[in-house]
Amino acid sequence: MTKQRRHRQDPIKLDFEELFSSPGGIARDDYEALLPRLASLRDEVGRHDVELWESGHDIPPEKRPLDAGFIPLPERLLADYETQRSDSELGRILQVASELSERVDRVVLLGIGGSYMGARALMDACCPPYYNELPRGERAGRPRLYFEGNNVDNDATTGLLHLLQMPAGSTPDWAIIVISKSGGTLETAVALRQFVRALQEGGIDGEELGRRIVPVTGPGSKLSRLADALGCPYRFPVPEGVGGRFSVLSAVGLLPAAVLGLDIVALLQGAVAMNRRFLETDPAENPVLQYVAIGHLMEQQRGATIRVTNVWSKALESLGLWYDQLLAESLGKEGIGATPLTAVNTRDLHSRAQQHQEGRPDKFHTHVVVENWRTDPLEVGTIGTNEDGLDALSTVTLPQIMAAAIDGTREAYREAGRPGCVLRLPELREYTLGQVFQFWMLATVVEGRLLGINPYGQPGVEAYKRNMNRILGRS
């Protein structure tokens, strides 16, 4: 069923020629005229801001917060791993992940927003579908992974607690990874209580309780103090200067990925490769700058204020939602910033495509296309009757039908004056995901600087938290 897994390091590719030749697109001259400005923003974001952040002082008020730490992070983690192996952060992540795998069959990840969405995207993109339903052998001996603490949904929490319950007399076979940079987010903190209590009720206490809870948090946070009280021996930091939605390539995403047995070195290598393309490639060949240019011009000239990420694989829905958060929280400020929307095709062709084709022309489409499927192609086949009229397609495969749907949709959108771009992913593996994460994070920051918005921080989210706490009578 599954093809031989080769380790490839192919680059992701951006294809947007149709924007220059179709009605509803943009003029090549305008695009080319924008590139020098983007090249100077690339230097500001990738060099000047990183140096400013590293120096730790003289950060001008309009640049605060300056969370540029995500840019050099992949290189740093890999370099430390190269020289210090098991003493490096990556070495410790791998060690704790394998210890968890040996001790338990299920892990509950508690976290919300940037402390959740990256891990979810990695699991859905790189693990087989229905991973949690597979027997342990088919999970390469790795634990199942569940996500909670991303809501305060009574039924969902109860449902998972119920699922985790063990027969009378057996010890719980699960552990918790709790991720919160601030360490005080109510959704995550409340869930932690529920799940710690369930471990305690299952007879886990003392040293063993501490070993079953792995916090990933900022220094001195409430969660860090709670971890002291519970005696948690394993902890990981959310590095200074790395904002929540920019933290997927820190322990926030790497620890859960390692628990799932994913190749976190390849993930970081993919990000390093994208950093290099961003910093070293000529603007006209630079996918990050190209992506910013076309999205910006489509918004300014065509009123395309909605960015639709059309993912042509079910495994990429969570990646689309991760990008939705990144774009929304980074650029949705000061009354501007494009609105992100993920569509999963072909599913959403049957729900959204009518509007995308004929509704308000306020959308810019990015089609995320995977070039190689993980599994062997399924044929339509025969079933001894042709009432459904499919015999003529009996030797056609699902990937061929998908390719026809992609080409047919793009052609229809183009003819309706709604051209877009294609982000081509060679395959759904860690190296590809590392490139994509870094690609979108860098593009978002460059676009923020282009718009004159600080892409870091999310001041608007604080108001609901203040109100909620007031209503709950919390100071």
363 given a catalytic annotation = no
Task: Select which of 3, 13, 314, 465 is catalytic.
Answer: 465
444 binds ligand PA5 (CB under 6 A): no
What is the rounded CA–CA span in Å between residue 410 and residue 457?
A: 36
How near is the Cβ of 217 to ligand PA5 at its closest, in Å? 8
For residue 216, the one-letter residue type is V
**Under 8 Å CB-to-CB from 340, ≥6 apart: which residues?**
306, 307, 309, 323, 324, 327, 328
What is the rounded CA–CA span in Å between residue 370 and residue 241?
A: 33
Q: Which long-range contacts (CB under 8 A, 24 or more apart) does 96-103 make?
A: 96/214, 96/234, 96/236, 96/255, 96/258, 97/255, 97/258, 97/259, 98/258, 99/234, 100/143, 100/175, 100/214, 100/259, 101/141, 101/142, 101/143, 101/259, 101/261, 103/175, 103/211, 103/212
Contact positions with ligand PA5 (CB under 6 A) in 239-298: 243-245
Is 426 in a helix, a strand, or coil? strand
Please state, in angstroms and as integers, the Cα–Cα distance from residue 15 to each residue in 418, 423, 469, following that order. Answer: 15, 7, 47
Region from 58-66, 111-119, 284-292, 424-432 binding ligand PA5, contact rule CB under 6 A: 111-119
How near is the Cβ of 244 to ligand PA5 at its closest, in Å? 2
Task: Select which of 329, 333, 356, 365 is catalytic.
Answer: 329
In this structure, what token pair is assigned to residue 244? 């929540």
- Looking at the Cβ atoms of 250 and 310, the one nearer to ligand PA5 is 250
- Looking at the Cβ atoms of 221 and 286, the one nearer to ligand PA5 is 221
Show the site string, 312-331: x = touches ligand PA5 by CB under 6 A, - = not: -----------------x--
- Looking at the Cβ atoms of 112 and 442, the one nearer to ligand PA5 is 112
What is the rounded CA–CA span in Å between residue 120 and residue 102?
A: 22
How near is the Cβ of 253 to ligand PA5 at its closest, in Å? 12
458 binds ligand PA5 (CB under 6 A): yes
> Which residue of this chain has its Cβ atom nearest to ligand PA5 in the complex?
244
150 binds ligand PA5 (CB under 6 A): no
Q: What is the DSSP letter of 146?
A: E
Task: Select which of 62, 162, 350, 387 is catalytic.
Answer: 350
- Give burial (CB, 10 Å; 0-12/13-18/19+) of 285: exposed
- Looking at the Cβ atoms of 143 and 244, the one nearer to ligand PA5 is 244
Contact positions with ligand PA5 (CB under 6 A) in 165-194: 180-182, 185, 188
Region from 113-121, 296-304, 308-316, 377-385 binding ligand PA5, contact rule CB under 6 A: 113-121
How near is the Cβ of 277 to ligand PA5 at its closest, in Å? 25
How near is the Cβ of 463 to ligand PA5 at its closest, in Å? 13
- Looking at the Cβ atoms of 67 and 313, the one nearer to ligand PA5 is 67
Between helix 287-302 and helix 28-43 the angle, nearest 10°, is: 130
465 given a catalytic annotation = yes
How would you classify the pairing of strands 144-148 and 339-344? Answer: unpaired
Task: Using CB under 6 A, pick the residue from 74, 113, 295, 448 that binds ligand PA5.
Answer: 113
- Please tell me the count of residues contacting ligand PA5 according to CB under 6 A: 14
What is the rounded CA–CA span in Å between residue 262 and residue 120?
A: 13
How near is the Cβ of 331 to ligand PA5 at its closest, in Å? 13
- Looking at the Cβ atoms of 454 and 458, the one nearer to ligand PA5 is 458
**Under 8 Å CB-to-CB from 307, ≥6 apart: which residues?**
295, 327, 338, 339, 340, 341, 363, 364, 366
What is the rounded CA–CA span in Å between residue 445 and residue 440?
A: 9
How near is the Cβ of 180 to ligand PA5 at its closest, in Å? 3
State the catalytic residues.
Answer: 329, 350, 465
Binding site for ligand PA5 (CB under 6 A): 112-115, 180-182, 185, 188, 243-245, 329, 458
